[in-house]
Copies of this chain bind each other. A is one copy, B any other.
Amino acid sequence: MENGHKSSATTKILDKVLELLDSEGVFGTDRDQPVVVFKHPKELTTEIPDLDLEAPITDEKQLWDVVRRIIQHCVKTSHPYFLNQLYGGLDPYGLAGAWISEALNTNQYTYEVAPAFTLAELAVLKRVLNLIGFQNGDGIFAPGGSIANMFAIALARYKMDPTTKNRGISHLPPLVMLTSEESHYSMLKAAHWFGVGTDNVIRVKTDERGRMIPSALVESIESALSAGKKPFFVNATAGTTVLGAFDPLAQIADVCEKYQLWMHVDACWGGSLMFSDKYSAILKDTHRADSLAWNPHKMLGAPLQCSILVIKEKGLLHQCNSAAATYLFQQDKFYDTAFDTGDKSVQCGRKVDAFKLWLMWSVRGQTGFARLVDNCMDVSRYFMSRIKEMEGFILVLPEFQCTNICFWYIPPSLRSATERNQEWWSKVSEVAPKIKERMIMAGSLMIGYQPLKHRNLPNFFRLVTTCHPPPTTADMEHVIKEIVEKGADL
């Protein structure tokens, strides 16, 4: 440590943490290191028996030894070959911001206890509102995209009928939410919690690329109305979880306008494209929505959790959620209590999620973000074009709009089949889980796989690139090589 280091007890512990993380290669992008040293649950319990908290660890050396073994058995999500989820490596400045706000351990509910962080949150929200095109809007950070979407549902219902806040919904006909069949399952979970019920989530049909069909949306709304139900919320997805599809925002906005329905955009995954000159056109109509959710902790590499909901109508968030607790939100404080943002939230205490994004943004600016997003998209396009021409790879869609590229790998033994019937596809369905197991046991690569049952598609791989660590075309060649090797004898 440099001068100024006072070596408090806490600082010594944290110094040790930094040394451990560094020596275990947690921040490293060394491609020769394994992505994961996988152990099954029972093996891992045997390997690190101290995990069970049976007795305190009294010896300092033993403690750090246990912690080292835990770190060794974590997945290295910052590894260039971790391409398993919609998130991956960290922006190092984002992590710096996270560590700082963790150390200052405060709550984002009042200016009183989080003065600088409150201003940082406002600054970030202002920039995001500007990018989305909400001129005089509002926003809030939520603990994850699912809860950000729930905020939007609460706003939509409150806007439709403010008396639902105090009266509940029992005086209303059954409420209906509309979302595409490719959209995120958080809509179902939210419908349950909100008392709407999962049966009242209408899964609107999508086209061949996975985008909501506006005419199908109209039919769904009409059919709900005829059934005496009350639609109140339409969710458009900008970047679906599996196929990365973007719903046609302008056309959905037209429908919402016609039927006077709240239009929300779940841009949790695809929202980061907003920074790109090359790829942001797909988001140009976000300004027509009423609210939009975006997770900078996904593609952009902010540390988890970093989720934003932005809203077009200023003031609504506070009206909708406020409970005006007198022990927190006293109006006789000596400072401008308009800066106490907590009562906009359904939460009481709220982590400082804004500062990590603030720090990343300060360093990189919008053009820096643009370069990172462009690279991450460009490299995924490279992968897509490479496997299009390669024997043994079949793309699930002819093109993909986001960085998730979905494909089957057909091992040599299955390639010569005369007929691609049910039996053949069921063999193909076993390929991805088997290759994945081999890759994980080797620690050589992590990518996801899944079926899409409503499209009758058996297990396929989904490779996802994110901004950090910046992926390269060589990384994509590694993916191809790994799959071909691990699947050679299947």
Contacts and interface: CB of A to CB of B under 8 A. Distances in A.
Contact of A304 (B28, B85, B349): B349
A297 B349 contact: yes
Contacts of A19: 1-2, 4-5
A444 to B, nearest CB: 15
A120 B44 CA distance: 11
A348 B145 contact: yes
Given A78-B105, A348-B146, A6 B18 contact: no
Contacts of A77: 104-106, 113
Contact of A8 (B28, B167, B192): B28
Interface residues of A, number: 167
A74 B241 contact: no
A303 B10 CA distance: 14
Nearest to A449: B330
B168 A323 contact: no
A480 interface: no
A10 B366 CA distance: 21
Contact of A51 (B116, B167, B192): B116
A347 B147 contact: yes
Contacts of A27: 8, 10-11, 103
A117 interface: yes
A350 B85 CA distance: 13
How many copies altogether? 2
Interface stretch (A52-60, A132-140, A257-265, A414-422): A52-60
Interface in A3-30: 4-11, 13-23, 25-28
Contact of A95 (B75, B103, B192): B103
Contacts of A462: 327
Interface string A79-111: 000001101011011011011101111110001
B169 A195 contact: yes
Given A143-B147, A170-B169, A362 B57 contact: yes
A121 to B, nearest CB: 10
The 8 closest A-B pairs by CB, nearest first: A195-B195, A168-B197, A56-B365, A4-B23, A143-B143, A10-B27, A327-B450, A169-B195
30 contacts: A4-B23, A6-B23, A8-B22, A8-B28, A10-B27, A11-B27, A14-B95, A15-B18, A41-B335, A52-B126, A53-B127, A63-B363, A77-B104, A85-B113, A143-B347, A143-B351, A147-B147, A158-B192, A168-B197, A168-B199, A168-B200, A194-B194, A194-B195, A295-B349, A330-B459, A332-B430, A332-B459, A333-B433, A334-B433, A334-B436
